[in-house]
Structure 1
Amino acid sequence: MRVLIAATPGIGHVFPTVPLAWALRLAGHEVLVATGGDALAVKDAGLAVYDVCPGTDAVKLAMETFGAHPELAAEWGTTDRSDFEANQRFYGRLMSHQTDLVDRYVRVAEDWRPDLVVHSALSAPGLIAAARVGVPAVEHGYGVFRSRQYTERVRHWNAELFDRYGVDLPERREAIDVAPLSLVDGVASGWSMRYLPYNGGCVLPDWLGDDTGRPRIAVTLGTTAPAFDGLGQLDRVLELAPDVDAEFVLALGDVDTGKLGPLADNVRLVDWVPMNLLLRSSAGLIHHGGSGTTLAALDAGVPQILMPDEGDRHVNAAAVADRGAGLSVDSSRLAKESIDALLHDGALRAAAGEVQAEMRSMPAPSTLVPRLEELAGE
């Protein structure tokens, strides 16, 4: 069969689909990924990719839309970004002005004629593309947030888009859930599947194996947060770092770090490195609460400090904290005691190890291939 993976243009949405894409390819099926921006890096996983926003990315598209529609920019400035539904309603209005992007998702579906569309959670373009060609749609989760419950509201939040293409929600819909059940009240939102971190390939940097005689703390803000909000979340981390007996590794990717100023001797600023590899040599992780980063730390059995600022990042942080595998902290109120707990609290480390074992017992991506074949009518 042919499977179209319609992923939101962002690494955090497309990279979690790579293990399933591999499983499908190994079973003999064709896979095409439709995405854009920095998510085009998924081509390095050996997958064919269709660019839905050539020459730009999701952040630039948003800024261009704000420039053309100042009322949207003003609304974004007043939106409560900790309110998930308020965010999603806003994104629906934003995307209604990005019809070229949605057209490309629809066009590739109509041209390629897939038997099945796997789409990012809460993705109106993926649902619309599946409906246009009359095939089942499968939502691919990327975190602990219960997104499936919002599918009907995605139709409402993006009503202008669905009406523009003359479709409703696809009749046959399923979901793949990668959340460890102990973080979500023990109930799967669809078909459970083990989360296997994919962060791209690399030539291992020499410093990764260095033993500085100190525990290592990885620090990241993901790929999207710095583009919208800068690096201000790191201010308190960098202020506290000199007083902590640890090496802090700032893995910030391709962002302007010039405003960070002088760094303490125990702070190492590095180029991009796959998070799953960095976590192998890390005692803990401090981050923004992004889903991929959260699950990568859990898969590594590493305790974490999450500093959420909006939307589902608050859900991730609360779930990890409630499970006892990490701490949820306002970035401006981060205290040395929290970082000390990251390094020395045995209960945090034990809980992280329990979740790691749980995740490794979840069904492998290959076990879902027969279900997808049956759904597609193969």
Structure 2
Amino acid sequence: MRVLIAASPGIGHIFPAVPLAWALRLAGHEVLVATGGDGLAVREAGLPVADVCPGLTLVDIVKTTVVRHPAMFAEFSTARFTDFADSLPYYAQMMNDQPAMMDRYVQVAEKWQPDLIVYSALTVGGLVGAAKLGIPAVEHGYGFFRTEGYGRRLRELNAEVFDRHGVDLPERMQSIDIAPPSLVGEVSSGWPMRYLPYNGGSHVPDWLLEEPRRPRIAVTLGTTAPGLGGLDRVNRIIELAGDIDAEFVLALGNTDTSALGPVPGNVRIEGWVPLNLLLPSSVGIIHHGGSGTTLAALDAGVPQILLPDGSDRHVNADAVAARGAGLSAHIDDVTKDSVDALLHDDALRVTAAEVRDEMHGMPDPRQLIARLEAII
């Protein structure tokens, strides 16, 4: 069969689907990815990609909505969502502000004629494309929120694109749930699937292949947060690092770090470092609360400090903290004692290992192929 994977133009939305794409290819199926912006990095996974928003990044898309709807975005950026459903109007507005991108998903589907569309949560264009072709749509989760009923809500919030293409929701819909049940609750109508970290291709530095001389703590803000919120949180960690007997690895991707200035000798500023290689040699991680980073840390059994600042990040941070696998804090409240917990809190480490084992026991992507084949 031919499977179109439609994902929002961000790494955090497409990278979680790479293991399923590989499993489909190994089972003999054809796969095409429709995404854009930073998500185009998925080409490094050996997958063909159609660009749905040439010249735009996810940060560009967000900034467009900021300019057009400043009051709405101000509310969004300061809100503490405990139910991700409450954030849907904000994401829907970002999609409404990009009609050409929404149409491009549909155009790719019409030209390639897939038998099935797998779409990342919130990728409205994938839903519209499936409805227009009369094929099944399977949502691929990427975080800690359960999405039953989101399709109907997205249909209401993005009515213009559905109506423009003359469709309602696809008749056959299903979801894949990668969240560990102990963090989000056991009840779900989705198909559970193990999260396998995929962090892109990059050169592996020699120091990452060597045993660290002191405990290592990873620090990252993901791919989107630095472009919107700057590096204030990183500056705070640097201030604390000099008094802590650990090596701090700042994995900051393509972010301009020139404004950070001098750093203590135990701080290493790096660019793009694959978390699936960095985390096994780390005793903990401090990060922005993005779903991909959070899940990668859990998969590695590593305690974490999450510094959420909007989007789904409070949902992720609250889930991890409630389970006891990490701490959630505002950056102003992070102290030396907070960071020391990553080094010395045995309860955090034991719980993180429990969640790791739970995730490793979930069905892997190969086990879902028969289910996908059966619904077309």
Pairwise TM-score range, normalised by the shorter structure: over 0.9
SS of corresponding position for 2:292: helix
CA contact (8 A) 1:285 1:304 kept: yes
CA distance 1:289–1:21, shift in 2 (3 Å): same
* Matched residue, 1:82: 80
Confirm or deny that 1:37 pairs with 2:37: yes
Partner of 1:254: 254
Distance 1:33 1:372, change over 3 A: same
How far does the alpha carbon of each residue in 1:291-337 deviate from its partner, in whole angstroms, 9 at most, with x for none? 00001001101111111111311111111111111111111211111
Q: CA deviation at 1:91?
A: 2.5
Note the C-alpha offset of 1:11.
0.4
- The number of aligned residues is 373
Matches for 1:255-294 after TM superposition, within 5 Å: 255-294=255-294
Deviation at 1:65, TM superposition (A): 5.2
- AA of the residue aligned to 2:140: H
Q: In structure 2, what is the equivalent of residue 243 of structure 1?
A: 243
Contact persistence 1:140–1:177 (CA under 8 A)? yes
Q: Which position in structure 1 is the counterpart of 2:181? A: 181
Query: How high is the TM-score relative to the length of structure 1?
Result: 0.95
CA offset at residue 344 of structure 1?
A: 0.6
Q: Secondary structure at the match of 1:77?
A: helix
The superposition leaves residues 340-367 of structure 1 with CA deviations (integer Å, 9 ceiling, x where unpaired) of: 1111111110111111111111101011
Aligned residue identity for 1:73: P
Q: Given the alignment of the two structures, is residue 73 of structure 1 paired with residue 75 of structure 2, yes or no?
A: no
Q: Mind listing any 5+ residue stretches in structure 2 that lack a counterpart?
A: none
CA contact (8 A) 1:303 1:326 kept: yes
Q: Which residue number corresponds to residue 144 of structure 2?
A: 144
Q: Deviations 1:61-99 (Å, cap 9, x if unpaired)?
A: 3334555x3xx1343124343234453212322322311
Q: Secondary structure at the match of 1:31?
A: strand
CA distance in 1, matches of 2:305, 2:315: 14
Partners in 1 of 2:189 and 2:284 — Cα distance? 29
The unaligned stretches of length 5 or more in structure 1 are none
* Partner-residue secondary structure (3-state), 2:313: helix
Task: State the identity as a percent.
Answer: 62
Q: Which amino acid aligns with 1:320?
A: V
**Displacement, 1:216?**
0.2
Secondary structure at the counterpart of residue 243 of structure 1? coil
The 8 Å contact of residues 324 and 348 in structure 2, kept in 1 or not, is answered as yes
RMSD: 1.5
CA contact (8 A) 1:106 1:129 kept: yes
1:82 counterpart letter in structure 2: R
**Residues of 1 paired with 2:61 and 2:306: CA distance?**
28
Whole-angstrom distance in 1 between the partners of 2:94 and 2:192: 32
Distance 1:43 1:359, change over 3 A: same
